Every structure is written in C-alpha cells, then in structure tokens.
Amino acid sequence: MKRYPVLLSLLCTLIVPTFALVDTEAPRPNILFIFTDDLGYGDIGVFYQNERAAMGDRSIPHFGTPSIDTMARDGVMLTQHYCAAPVCAPSRASLLTGVTQGHADVRDNQFDKALIDTHTLGSVLQAAGYKTAAFGKWGLQGGTGDKNPARDRPMADRIAEQQTWDGFPTNRGFDYFYGYARHRDGHFHYPKEDGREIWENDEEVSAGLDMAYTTDLFAARAKQWIIEHQQSNPDQPFMAYLAHDTPHAVLHNPSTAFPDGGGLNGGLQWLGKPGRMINTAEGTYDGWMHPEFKHRTWDHDSDPTTVEQPWPDVQKRYANLVRRIDDTVGDLLQTLEDLGIADNTLVIFTSDNGPSKESYIEENYDPDFFHGFGPFDGIKRDTLEGGVREPTLARWPKHIPAGRIDATPSGHWDWMATFADLAGVAIPAASDGVSLIGSMSGAAARPASTIYTEYWNGSKSPGYDAFLPSHRGRKRGQMQAVHLDGYKGLRYNVESADDDFEIFNLNNDPQESNDLAKRPEFADLQERMKARVLQIRRPNESAPRPYDEAYVPAAAGVMPENSGWKRSIYPGSWPWLPQFQSMAAGAIDLVSEVKLPSSDRLGSYGVTFEGFVNIPTDGDYTFELEDGAGNSMVFVHDSRVIGETGSTSDSVRLAAGWQPVRVYHRESGKVLDGIGFSITDSGGNNVLKTRGAVAH
C-alpha cells in the first residue's frame, strides 16, 4: 500500500485559566446527592405541579412537594439539566463515571452490567479525602448468576455471588453501601416481605427488615450515617449518594404515616433492631395513604354540574410515593441544620430519567394524569425532552444565592467535574463534564456542557392527547439527540449517519413542535450536527449503532499554515490525568514531534500536544501509545480514542482531511524515551510516528 505523507499543523486553541469560585480557605463542602427513580420533570411542585394548581381548574389534578420546593427557594433550579439516557442503567452509569453515552460502557438496556473500573464520583472524592457512602438502588454490580434469584436460597449462595460483583459500590469508590445491588430488586419496596436482598457492604441483611419501606429505609440509613460521621469525624467532608428506588415500578404505599418533625429529634429514626430497624417499620403492608390524597376528587368530564370522581387509585398511589420522597428530603435538610452543617453542604436533587408508564400492579399508571412530563412531550425511553430533561435543584447556602434560576444546558455527567472542582482536585480528563459552580452560583461564566445522548428501544412513544400528533405512537428504535449552537438536534428510528436531524429552538419551543430543519438557513447546522455526533462518541460493540461505521468528518474550514504541534506544559502532580483544557499552561511552544520536554528542572508535570493530522484518504487508522501509555490519553476531535485504562491502541474510521488530534500525558520525573505515539493506516503503514529521546 502506498505510504502517504503526513502534514502537521498547529491547533490554535485558546487556553482559558480557571479561577477559584469558592473561598479556598473555607472548608470543602459536604455533598448529599438525592437521586430518584422515574420521577418526571413535571412531578415536582416548583417545576410544574404548582403551575397546575395555580390554574384553579378542578379538571386539572395536581399535587405538591413542599419540602423539595424549599430547595428552589433556598438555592438554584437547573431548568435544562439532562440525564444521559432515558432509562435507569445507562443513566446511572453515566452519572457515576462522568461521561455521556458517547463514551459510556453501559448503554441501552444493559441492566446489572458491571460499572467499568474507572473514575467515579466516589473514587474522585475519596482521593480528595472525602468519606463516601451509597444508599439505595445500584443495579451496576455485574457478575454472573441469576438476576432474579429464588427468594429462599441459602445465605452461602448469596455471599458467594456477591463476591463475583466486580462493579459493587465498595469496589467503585464508596466506603460504605447499604441498598439493593440488583436492578430487579429495586422494583420492590418491602425487601423482606417481597423476598429481595439488601446488602450492607458484603453482608446480606434483609432478614431483619420487617415492614421496612425502602423510601424510609434508605433515607433513614443515610441520615444515620451522616449523623454518625459528624459525631466521629466532623472535620472530614463527606459525600452521600442516596438513590431511591421510587416512584418506580411497584407502586406500593408505605405502611404507616411519616413521623412528625425531622432531623435529630424527629422524622425517621434508625433503631437498628432486627424486626424494627426504623421507626416506621410498623403498620400495614401497602397500607397507608396520605390524607391529602385519600379522598381526592376531580372534575373528570370538565363539567362542574356533574358529580366529581375520585382520583384513580393508581394515581393516588403515585402522588403518595412522591410525597413520601418529599418528606424524606425535608427530614434530611433538617438533619443538616440540626448538625450545624447545612450552610456548607451541597444538596442536589434530581432524577434518573423521565416518568414511567408502568405500575407493576393490576391498574396501569400513565403519567398524563398529572402531566409528569411537564410542558414537554415524551416519557421514559424517549429522547424527546420529557424523557431526558430532569427536575434538578441544588442548595448550598454558603455559595449559591437563594432563588436562582440556571437555564444553561447541563447534564448528569457534569457532576463529576463539579465535585472535583469543589474538592480541590483536578477534573479527570476521562470525564466529559464541566464544573457547574459558576452558573449555579452566578459567580462566573463556565464552559458549555456537551449535551449528547444515544439510546435504543423497540417500542413506541405513548399516544397521549397532551402530546403533539407527530409524537404520538412514534417508533423509537435508534434515537439520538445533540445540542449545538443553542439548538437541539433529534433523530428517531435512525437508520444511517446520513439521516437528517429535526432541529428545535427549545427556548421558545420546549414541546419540539417547530422543526427548523425544513428551513434552508439551517442546512449548514444540519451538516454540522451530523458531523458533531460522530466527533464526540466512540462505538461500543455491546450497543451497535447504524452510524458506527461512518467516517468521522474532518475539521471544517481548516487551512493549516504552520507545521508542528502546540505543546503546553503544566507543572504539577495529579492522581489521574487532568482535564488540561480547564487549566492554565505554564509554558507553550511549537514542536515538530510528540516529545517530552528535556529538562531536569520540571519535576512532575503534565503536557499536551495539539495539532491537525492530514488524513490522506478515507479509511481505518490505528492510534497507538507505547511507553507511558498508562499516563496518557489521545483524542480525535472530542472523542477519546485511547484512555488511561484499557487498550493502548484503537482504530478510528476517519474521513480524509485535517483531523484535530490531542495527546495528553503526565510525567513524574522518571526517565522515559519519548511517549511513543503512532498512527498507522489499515495496511500497517506509518501515517505518523514520533519518538524522541528524553532524559530527566
């Protein structure tokens, strides 16, 4: 095969220094992350239910979330915050590892797949000195064995299986875990009575959980853990990840009323006694309904002259489950106040995906009764806004002014970068996120988030009257959504990379009714969206897509002049490869090869090389790192071709033209004979090979 010459050009990117947005002398904040299951944007008072109540129309049913609403009063509402995928397993995996679905290992409906061994919210904060704990639903444990095992199997079998769960929380950055490991177990809310396994670290403890309703159980355990941590080690910051399994799946009611008060002297109390582990472990299985909903009626036919009908039982149940979550939020907020740590605790509330239409009981649940999808179309399993935009609130009295609205688009994958920023450690280069502190607090502008999702589902969108006719009963198939230049691109039932996006301006069209792609002036944006979705993702064999084989487009409009690589040097030492683009370089120069600086004075440092590689013809190109690969990373556009972990080489289908390439490396002063970076074509011919001798 012909060997093609390669031209290199300087990639002129702006280095923007980051500035501390919080007082560096102040204690780092504690973090309480409250994650709900299948709770829609419209299911929270301040996001939509209060608006329905204000209409004063008896034909429009509604319910309140008074405690959650206080987080909006005291903090910030993130009104364009997205999950990574509209179903729980990939959504949770992307949250925990700080990546979009374009780089995630768990995609589509891969429940119980092991969370990949990489940076997680827990491990990043552990490295920063935090105590970490996870409570509630996990579903990313991996291992072999039955995902819905016999309820009475021997304890020895349970323990043996747990040992195969590589993705168990305590193996992924959490010091402590209490909750459901399996996805399927999280469909049920009375662990002992429903025969489901609850794990406290490596011990299965469901036998002592008589009448322990999971919303109460997980919140009470988190509450007690926070109390005990503050009593034993008040100077160490903590991160508690509380992942409720409600209002998802079996819509079973609590067994008894929520206890009066909250905090240290009221609300939920952890008793720790087998048979009565919490103070609400009493009453009747599936037996208690909040008085506000018990006898609620509505004008079902929009005729005030006829007798109103009771709310359907399944709808009362749903409102009851949401109110129970709301009660636990109030209890936890009061606990932080009683402990004197509320001002310096960042509390986040959000959901994993849009509202579900399942109930797992005889009467089916549909979210169109309360419009749990809010002012949008779409539900769980849709990439329309109702399936992916989440009700998200953040409260941190010390640094987030009360009553703020943050309408800048962001996503769950941004929390890793945010937490790293707050904890004073480098944002991992393996993360797709940016820190949200600037926009949440209003203290500074921040880099734009990468908003991207991909997902497959073989069903159709529901045909609710509230949805636009074009969205009712729509075949889902391969779905994809991306934000670019302030617009959303959306594709359903994707068959190839050439399929057109629908294009929407969500600021004035949240229901996605006016497809701007039909206008000639959006032809250029259409092509750039098609290019963008190929430039920010990597194929994953476990979730094949119809655009996996497409050639990644070259950079548009690039006319390189200077040959060489832009080399930026960053003095410092980090526990992982940092996201260098968010840091200020100590020195910048132009070099002809990917070589490390030859200086004994640098000590520990990081270095980036940025340039354009001239790809001579469409084809498959292999990128390879040799020496030092464990401390290096390679990007083409914003796609991570090689990371810190895994293979040191990978192949990319590239279109001919100038392709932007970045190489990141961190060095600890050891002798290294260059980085050993090469690019070869499908015939094994060198398209690029550099190797410089460097002594330290």
pLDDT of residue 188: 97
Q: What is the pLDDT of residues 399-441, one digit of tens each?
A: 999 999 999 999 999 999 999 999 999 999 999 999 999 999 9
Q: How confident is the model at residue 20 (pLDDT cuts 50, 70, 90)?
A: very low
324, pLDDT greater than 80: yes
Query: What is the reported pTM?
Result: 0.94
**Phi and psi for 266 in degrees, rounded to 5?**
-155, -170
At 391 the three-state DSSP class reads: strand
Over pLDDT 90: what percentage of the chain? Answer: 83
Query: Would you list the domain boundaries of the chain?
Result: 30-109+119-153+214-446, 453-535
30, pLDDT greater than 90: yes
Torsion of CA 588, 592, 593, 599, to 10 degrees: -50
Cβ–Cβ contacts within 10 Å for residue 554, how many?
22
Cβ atoms of 37 and 298 closer than 8 Å: no
**Residue for token pair 């996006």:** 501
570, pLDDT greater than 90: yes
pLDDT of residue 674: 63
Q: How confident is the model at residue 14 (pLDDT cuts 50, 70, 90)?
A: very low
Q: Cα–Cα–Cα angle for 69, 70, 71, nearest 5°? A: 90
The tokens describing 202, both together, are 């490596």
Least-confidence region, from 178-187, 373-382, 550-559: 550-559
**Of 439, 431, 653, whose CA–CA distance to 538 is shortest?**
653
361, pLDDT greater than 70: yes
303, pLDDT greater than 50: yes
How many angstroms separate the CA atoms of 65 and 44, rounded? 6
Cβ atoms of 481 and 490 closer than 8 Å: yes
Domain 453-535's class?
A: alpha beta
pLDDT of residue 481: 98
Q: Characterize the bridge pairing of strands 649-654 and 686-690.
A: unpaired
pLDDT of residue 694: 29
pLDDT of residue 627: 60
What are the percentages of helix, strand and coil residues in the chain, rounded to 5? 25, 25, 55
To the nearest 10 degrees (0 to 180), the angle between helices 313-338 and 66-74 is 50
Cβ atoms of 86 and 383 closer than 8 Å: yes
**Phi and psi for 388 in degrees, rounded to 5?**
-125, -15
Q: Which residues contact 80 (CB under 8 A, 6 or more apart)?
A: 389, 407, 408, 409, 410, 506
Cβ–Cβ contacts within 10 Å for residue 295, how many?
10
3, pLDDT greater than 60: no
The tokens describing 159, both together, are 């323990």
**Residue for token pair 């008040």:** 234
**Residue for token pair 């996805």:** 183
Q: How confident is the model at residue 601 (pLDDT cuts 50, 70, 90)?
A: low
602, pLDDT greater than 90: no
Q: How confident is the model at residue 595 (pLDDT cuts 50, 70, 90)?
A: confident
Q: What is the pLDDT of residues 618-673, one digit of tens each?
A: 999 999 987 655 689 999 999 999 987 778 889 999 999 999 999 999 887 664 55
Q: Cα–Cα–Cα angle for 497, 499, 500, nearest 5°? A: 125
9, pLDDT greater than 60: no
Torsion of CA 213, 219, 221, 226, to 10 degrees: -170
Q: How confident is the model at residue 15 (pLDDT cuts 50, 70, 90)?
A: very low
Q: What is the pLDDT of residues 481-532, one digit of tens each?
A: 999 999 999 999 999 999 999 999 999 999 999 999 999 999 999 999 999 9
How many angstroms separate the CA atoms of 619 and 679, rounded? 12
Q: How confident is the model at residue 67 (pLDDT cuts 50, 70, 90)?
A: very high
**Of 259, 262, 173, 248, whose CA–CA distance to 214 is shortest?**
248
pLDDT of residue 639: 97
pLDDT of residue 12: 40
695, pLDDT greater than 70: no
276, pLDDT greater than 80: yes
Quick one: average pLDDT of 467-474?
A: 98
Torsion of CA 486, 457, 43, 112, to 10 degrees: -110
Q: How confident is the model at residue 1 (pLDDT cuts 50, 70, 90)?
A: very low
30-109+119-153+214-446 and 453-535 share one fold: no
At 686 the three-state DSSP class reads: strand
Cβ atoms of 90 and 107 closer than 8 Å: yes
8, pLDDT greater than 50: no
Burial category of 277 from C-beta neighbours within 10 Å (exposed 0-12, middle 13-18, buried 19 and up) = buried
Quick one: average pLDDT of 353-382?
A: 96
**Of 281, 279, 261, whose CA–CA distance to 270 is shortest?**
279
Measuring CA to CA, how many Å separate 11 from each of 147, 338, 379, 605, 610? 49, 53, 42, 21, 6
Pick the CATH number of 30-109+119-153+214-446 from 3.40.50.720, 3.50.50.60, 3.30.465.10, 3.40.720.10: 3.40.720.10
SS (H, E, C) 432-448: CCCCCHHHHHCCCCCCC
How many angstroms separate the CA atoms of 655 and 615, rounded? 7
Quick one: average pLDDT of 338-342?
A: 98
pLDDT of residue 669: 64
